[in-house]
Amino acid sequence: MTDVIQPPVHLHAVVDALAANPALPPELVRRLFSYRRGRGSVAKRGDLTDDMTAEIIAIDDPWFTHSLALNRGLPQAVRMTLAGHPDPAVRAAVVVGTEGSPRELFERLLDDPDLQVRVSLA
């Protein structure tokens, strides 16, 4: 018998549920940034602060940043930042939730060198 306690098999589901919980305190939201399975859900939270979005972008994980770009509650300044991201999948994901976005965002994506970004915009 070993003293090491194995994580429960449903741990990923628990972390995803925590990430979606609107009552989760900001310090615990930040802790989920380092947990790989919680990245997608936590990046789509509607209550991310500017510091949190900057932290997610700084982590520079393509999947995590892509999930952030899909967040419909992002401030327009963050959308403009992500529209200049080097990963075309992230730039294409910025198109989600662009309703009410400034003209500059559309112009930037319309002239994107990657075809998939332009197709997503269309």
Q: Please give the pLDDT value at position 7.
A: 66
Q: Please give the pLDDT value at position 115.
A: 93
Identify whether 2 is part of a domain.
no
Q: Please give the pLDDT value at position 36.
A: 62
- The predicted model scores a pTM of 0.84
Q: Please give the pLDDT value at position 38.
A: 55
Q: Please give the pLDDT value at position 35.
A: 76
Q: Please give the pLDDT value at position 39.
A: 63
Q: Please give the pLDDT value at position 1.
A: 56
**Lookup result for tokens 């209550």:** 47
Identify whether 107 is part of a domain.
yes
User: How many structural domains is the chain composed of?
Assistant: 1
DSSP type of residue 28: H
CB-based contacts of 108, cutoff 8 Å, min separation 6: 80, 83, 84
Distances in whole angstroms, Cα of residue 87 to Cα of each of 24, 28, 119: 30, 28, 15
Alpha carbons 14 and 22: distance in angstroms, whole number: 14
pLDDT block averages, 10 residues each, the chain of length 122: 71 83 92 73 91 93 92 92 95 87 90 93 87
Identify whether 4 is part of a domain.
no
The identity of residue 26, as a single letter, is: P
The parent domain of residue 100 ranges over 11-121
Distances in whole angstroms, Cα of residue 115 to Cα of each of 18, 68, 108, 121: 36, 21, 13, 10
